[in-house]
Amino acid sequence: MADQPVRTQDAQEPLPVPPGALPAYPSSWPDRVPPQVHVKRDLLPALSVLSTVSLLGLAVGYLWSRLAPGLLVQVVADGTPVALRTESYHRFDDLVLFMLLGLAAGVVTGAAVWLLRERRGPVLLIAAVLGSVLAAWLAYQVGLSWAQARFALPSAPAVGDVLTLAPRLESAWAVLAWPLGTALSYGIAAAWNGRDDLGRRLG
C-alpha cells in the first residue's frame, strides 16, 4: 500500500473569511492624514462673516420693537403708574419674544454660514458665534430705544389716565439665544455631515 502524502502546516490552504468579516490589512497600511485647520486662509472671510452677522441685529431689534406689546398702566392719585389687570404678563411676553427672534435668527445664521462650503471649519464657526453675540447685543440696545420712541408718554399725565408703557426686557441674558442658535444649527449640520473635513472643497 503506497504511503499517502502528509500535508504540513505550511501547505494548508488559508481558511475562508466568514461572511461579514473585515479582511485583515497589512501592518504597513498608511495612516490617515487628519484634516488641517486653515486659520490664516479663513481669517479674512471670518471677519466678513462676523461684521455681516452683527449688522443683522439692527433688523431683529427693529422687528422686536414693532411686535412687542406695550404695558397698559393707569396713573393713580400719587402719580404712580399701576399696571392694569393681566397687563403685567406682557413683561414676560416681551422677553420671550426677543429670545425667540434671537433663536430663529441664530438658526438661520448657522445654516447660512454652513452653506459657505469652501470655508467650513472652526474658524468660521467662532466668527459666526461672536458675530451673533454682537448682533444680539445690538438688537437689545436699539430695540429698547425704538420701543421707547414708539410709545412716547405725555409730559404731564393726569390722575386716572391710561397710558401705554414701552416694552422692556427684564434680563440681559436674553442675548445668549442668538449665539446659542448659531452654534446649535452649525453643530447639527457638522454632525450630520460626518466627514473629517466637513465636505470642504478648498484645498
Q: Is residue 202 part of a domain?
A: no
Alpha carbons 112 and 115: distance in angstroms, whole number: 5
Q: Is residue 109 part of a domain?
A: yes
- The whole-model pTM stands at 0.73
Q: What is the maximal distance between C-alpha atoms in the chain?
A: 130
Structural domain count, the chain: 1
Q: Is residue 9 part of a domain?
A: no
DSSP for 144-162, please give it. HHHHHHHTPPPSSPPTT-E
Rounded (10°) CA dihedral 115, 121, 127, 130:
100
Region of poorest pLDDT, from 7-11, 52-56, 108-112, 157-161? 7-11
- Domain interval for residue 114: 40-190
How does pLDDT run across 173-187, given as a tens digit for each residue?
999 999 999 999 999
Q: Is residue 163 part of a domain?
A: yes
Alpha carbons 80 and 155: distance in angstroms, whole number: 14
Q: Is residue 25 part of a domain?
A: no
Q: Is residue 74 part of a domain?
A: yes
DSSP for 6-49, please give it. PPPSTTSPPPPPPTTPPPPPPTTPPPPPPPPP-HHHHHHHHHHH
Alpha carbons 32 and 157: distance in angstroms, whole number: 75
159 conformational bin, left if phi > 0, alpha if psi -120 to 50, beta if neither: beta
Residue 7 has what pLDDT? 53
Q: Is residue 95 part of a domain?
A: yes
Dihedrals phi, psi of 40, to nearest 5 degrees = -65, -40
How does pLDDT run across 2-17, given as a tens digit for each residue?
555 555 555 555 556 5
Residue with the larger pLDDT of the pair 73 and 158: 73
Q: Which residue has the cell 486653515?
A: 38
Q: Is residue 128 part of a domain?
A: yes
